[in-house]
Amino acid sequence: MATSADAAAPGLQPLAGRTAIVTGASRGIGRAIAVHLGSLGADVVLGCSSNPAQAELLAAELNAGAGSGRAVSVRADVSDPAGAAALFDRAEAAFGRPAHVLVASAGVLDPKYPALADTDLADWDAAFAVNARGAFLCCRQAARRLARGGGGRIIALSSSLVGVLRPGYAAYAASKAATETMVRIMAKELKGTRITANCVAPGPVATDMFFAGKREELVQRIAVENPMGRIGESTDIAPIIGFLCSDEAEWVNGQVIRANGGLV
């Protein structure tokens, strides 16, 4: 639920009248992004795959909160072309206009953290199915269907692991590297539409996905190696997305923003 810390300053609703689609919105970074965009006045489509009850609860909280845009939840598998299309169909049906913003936040990570030599083909394919194929299918819909003429924004969540190159993350980092390359090329292909396309690449963030399979000793070691001396929070990432969705960010295009406290 939106809090006073999440909400925009009174009277400032820079995304009022715009619709944002956020995938992976039921928890973690995606949830924080959806709450923040709602606080900026956006109507939000909450895309989820495995946690529909949490997404529906979040939609109810956003709809009940003062100063937030409207919200609807959609259960959609982003690795399926029909699932990606359903997000945009629902946005248009619920709010009566084309979407303005896509935030492709859905992602998966193998909690076993195997070396490449020990990575199962099924786990490799699962990472690419959601992290790369899912981002592609949603971005393809966005390139075809986002509103033209200003305010169109595509933002894909990557990972600072693309730069850190930590052992045990080969499939995850490779899938995110593919997404970064795709988005930077798409930014050039969208010339003339006034739609921008960027990536935000968080470092370690305190989410269920980050903690899965990690011992406390490892978590503390990762925190200490960061120049800021801590693990990131979802609220460190959401305002960066909010800025990229704003009119003030139109000159930021085709970029990868590494939000990681100086880790790399």
152-157 and 256-259 as β-strands: parallel, antiparallel, unpaired? unpaired
Q: Is residue 179 within 8 Å of 159, Cβ to Cβ?
A: no
Please list the alpha-helical segments (H only) found in the chain: 28-39, 52-64, 81-95, 121-127, 135-145, 161-164, 170-189, 208-211, 216-225, 234-245
d(CA 166, CA 163): 9
Conformational region of residue 192, where left means phi above 0, alpha means psi within -120 to 50, and beta covers everything else: left
CA dist., res. 7 & res. 40, Å (int): 7
The one catalytic residue in 172, 175, 249, 253 is 172
User: What's the helix, strand, coil split of the chain in %, to 5?
Assistant: 45, 15, 40
Distance CA 9, CA 185 (A): 35
Pairing of strands 101-104, 256-259: unpaired
Is 172 a catalytic site residue? yes
**Burial degree of 136 (CB within 10 A; 0-12, 13-18, 19+):** buried
Taking CA atoms, 188 is separated from 200, 223, 233, in Å, by 17, 37, 32
Tokens of 20: 């944002």
Q: Which residues are tagged catalytic?
A: 172
